[in-house]
Structures are given as structure tokens and as C-alpha cells.
Amino acid sequence: MEKLFKLMPHPDYAQKFSFSVVYALLASIGVNFFYQPGQIYSSGITGIAQILTTLSKDLIGVYVPVSATLLLLNLPLFLLGWFKIGHKFTIFTGITVVLTSVFMQIIPDETLTTDPIICAIFGGAIMGAGIGYALKNGLSSGGLDFVSIAIRKKTGNTIGSISITFNLFIMLAAGLLFGWQYALYSAIAIFVSGKVTDAVYTKQKKMQVTIITRHPEKVIHTIQKKMRRGITIINEAEGAYKHDKQTVLLTVVTRYELPLLRAAMGEADKKAFVSIADNVQILGHFYEEEF
């Protein structure tokens, strides 16, 4: 069978790099122009980096910029991604994180306003646009994405629910350490960021995947290892041209999980025929068991 292993248009490395640059610029503007002046704490690893930066002078006697803290926090998570998720995914994410840290360092802090409401709304909108753009182009902003995906593979919980749990801890820490008003303003920023991200790219959108393969056991094992997804098996499918017997596998993934699916298929069966149907509607909860 002709190699048809293309789950979606796959940009070359130069395009991937340009996507990383755009995200890094947007994230840096959001943090340096709005979050820092307004004492707004972002979601995910960026919010943790901001908290540690705010505390760094008291903890170690030296002010550590957000750019350095963000990079240091991501280093051990790169190892998690390398061994538990995928090499290519980790490399591109690492490039994105490094660029973000560099731009945060070289773009000067600019206090456009200190009004926390304005900073929360505009900072959240810019950050959400950056995250949505990155996800739309198959990139990850790093940080807790590694942890969320790893937990998703172990527990089966959705990425969204895992992210909400982490963000609640960040808001709680910001409230206890710096005052509850900053936790509430940060919650506004996270809400706006999430809405803009969804407007640019809906990461939980369901997509039905049909896989025709001669190596079903290997494909099933690899997909479940990387994504913890149920799969429906149709045996003894017959090709109309050669009348050879193959196996059809059906599963449902989100757009966010497409890079993981691509990695799984590349490892299990590069010659498999893979078809993806967008805009899938799910009725009931049978997909959690069957698909």
C-alpha cells in the first residue's frame, strides 16, 4: 500500500520555527506589558514562574527574572516529555520555550497601565491568542503541557480538567502569598485567555480516526501507551483492489492529541492508511468505553 501516513498538513521545520516565534512574541508581550505591571499571574508554568520570580528576592536574596525562572522550570519537564511523550514533540516544544524565555528577556517591561482589570483582560487576550495560535499549528507552549499529557495517559482524565486543577493551585498560591485580589484578577485573565484560545483553536474538538493496518496489535498497543485511548476493532476487512485482508481500527481523539497520534502511527505502522473525520458529534458516554 502506498504510504499515506499524513494525518494533517505537516509544515516543514522553517514553518514550525516561525510559529514558535509568533507564539513567543505574543506570550512575551502579554507578560511584560500587562501581567507583570498589573501583578497578574498567568495559567500554567508561566504563572508558577511569575510567583517564584516575585518571591526570589526574599527566598535567595537575588531577583531572578521570569524568563530565567520559566526556562529552569521547564528543564526537568523536557526530560519527562522526551521519555514519556515523544522526541519530536519535545524538541519543538523546547524551541518554543527557549524562544519565549529569550523574548521575555530582551523585550523591555513596558507599563502601559497598572489597572489590574485592564491588565487582566488585555494580557489574557494576548496570551490566549498566542496559545491558540500555537495549538492550531501543532505546537505546545511546554511546561504543564508535559505533565498534563503524562497524567492524561495514566489516568484518562481530559487535558482540560487537569489544567483547571493546576490553575486552581496557582490561584490559591497567589491569593495566599500576595493577596486575594490578585488571585481574582488572575482568574479573570485565565478566563479571558481560555475564551480567546477556544476562539482561535478548540483543543477538545472531537475527531474520528479510521486506521486500516496489517499490524493492528502493534498499533493498538502504541496508541494506548501514548494516549490511553479505547479503540474499536473491525476484523477481516477486504480491500477492493487486491482483495487482501486487513484490520480497521476506529477511535476518537481531540485536535490537541493529533501530534501524539501521528507519533504513535509513525512508531507502529508508517504504511497504515489513516483517515480523520472532523466535526464529530458524540451522543452518550459509550465513546469512553468503545472508542
Over the chain, what is the mean pLDDT? Answer: 80
Q: Which of 178, 200, 222 is the last residue of a domain?
A: 200
Q: Which domain holds residue 36?
A: 13-200
Rounded distance between C-alpha atoms, residue 251 and residue 258, angstroms: 12
What pLDDT is recorded for position 206? 77
The set of residues, in sequence order, having a beta carbon less than 8 Å from that of 258 and lying 6+ positions away, is 7, 8, 138, 207, 276
Residues 66 and 167 sit within 8 Å (Cβ to Cβ):
no
Q: How far apart are CA 207 and CA 281, in angstroms?
A: 9
Q: Same structural domain for residues 104 and 147?
A: yes
> Is pLDDT of 83 > 60?
yes
Judge whether residue 182 has pLDDT over 70.
yes
Give the separation between CA 159 and CA 38, rounded to whole angstroms. Answer: 28
The pLDDT of residue 148 is above 80: no
- Shared domain for 177 and 234, answered yes or no, is no
My answer on whether 221 and 135 are in the same domain is no
Query: What pTM does this model have?
Result: 0.65
Average pLDDT over residues 41-55: 88
- pLDDT greater than 50 at residue 11: no
Q: Do 163 and 216 belong together in one domain?
A: no
Q: What is the DSSP letter of 285?
A: S
The mean per-residue pLDDT over the stretch 256-284 comes to 79
User: For residues 77 and 221, what is the distance between their CA atoms, to the nearest angstrom?
Assistant: 25
Residues 139 and 258 in one domain: no
The CA distance from 127 to 43, in Å, is 10
**CA nearest to 10, candidates 250, 263, 277, 267:** 263
Q: Which residue is listed with cell 527557549?
A: 98
Compute the average pLDDT of residues 190-211: 79
Residue 254: beta bridge partners? Answer: 206
Whether 287 has a pLDDT exceeding 50, the answer reads no
Cβ pair 209, 274 in contact under 8 A: yes
**Considering the domain boundaries, does residue 1 fall inside one?**
no
Residue ranges in 44-158 assigned as alpha helix (H): 44-60, 66-84, 87-106, 116-136, 144-155
State the CB neighbour count (10 A cutoff) for residue 21.
15
Would the pLDDT of 167 be above 90?
no
Contact 126, 26 (CB under 8 A): yes
Does 193 fall in a domain? Answer: yes
109 in the same domain as 34: yes
User: Does residue 179 sit in the same domain as residue 240?
Assistant: no
Q: Report the domain count for the chain.
A: 2
The answer as to whether 244 is a domain residue is: yes
Q: Over pLDDT 70: what percentage of the chain?
A: 81
Contact (CB, 8 A) for 117 and 188:
yes
Q: Examine the domain organization and report whether 40 and 157 are in the same domain.
A: yes
Q: In what order do the strands lie in the sheet with 245-254?
A: 232-238, 245-254, 206-213, 273-277
Residue where the block lists cell 504504511: 271
Q: Where does a domain end: 185, 200, 215?
A: 200
